[in-house]
Amino acid sequence: MALMHYPVINKNGKVIASAITNLDLHDIARVAKTYGVEKFYVVTPLKDQQDLIHRIVSHWTKGIGSRYNPKRRQALETIQVGTTLGEILQDIATQQGQAPKSVATSAQPAGDVISFQAMRQMLTNGIPHLLLFGTAWGLSDACIEAADYRLASITGNTGYNHLSVRSASAIILDRLLGGRNERS
C-alpha cells in the first residue's frame, strides 16, 4: 500500500504535495502490519518531509522507541519512503518479478469502480497489487485515472463522507484482507 502525499489535491482542487503527519505513519503502519501488508510506502517528493519520515521511523525501529515498544517497531519497519509513484511501482516489480496493478481509493463516488468483493478475489490471483491512499483532499484526478482500478468508495449512513486516511485505510484493509469467520 502507498500513502500518497503527492500528487494530491487541496480543498480547492489544486494539485499539491501535502505534509507528513506522525499519526498517519504510526496508525497506518499498525494497520498494515495487522493485515499482513508487505510494505507501507509513504510517497513524497519533498526532501524535508522524507527526512522527517526517516527520523520518526528510525526512532521507533533503531532508537530508544524500538526497545520501549517492540510492537511499534515491528509495524514501523514496514514503512519505506518513496519519491514518486513510478519509483514505487518499479521497486515492487523488481522485488515481485512483475509489475503490480495499482488500485486508487477515493471518497468520491464514481461509476467505473471495482467492488470490495471483486478486489478481494483479485488479491488471491498471485499478481501484486498496490493500494493508493491519498492525503489532503485525496488523490489527484490524474493519479486516479492512471490507476489500473478504482476501488468503490466507503459510504456511511449519512451524507457526511470525509474520513481520515487512517480510518479509511483500516476499513479498506479489513474489507479486503480481514477474516471472514468473524463477520455476520
pLDDT tens-digit profile of 18-39? 999 999 999 999 999 999 999 9
- The CATH code belonging to domain 2-182 is 3.40.1280.10
CB-based burial label for 39 (10 Å; 0-12, 13-18, 19+): middle
Question: What pLDDT score does 116 carry?
Answer: 97
Q: Mean pLDDT score of the chain, rounded to an integer?
A: 95
89-128 pLDDT per residue, tens: 999 999 999 999 999 999 998 889 999 999 999 999 999 9
Residue with cell 471518497: 107
Give the tens place of pLDDT for each residue, 154-176.
999 998 988 999 999 999 999 99
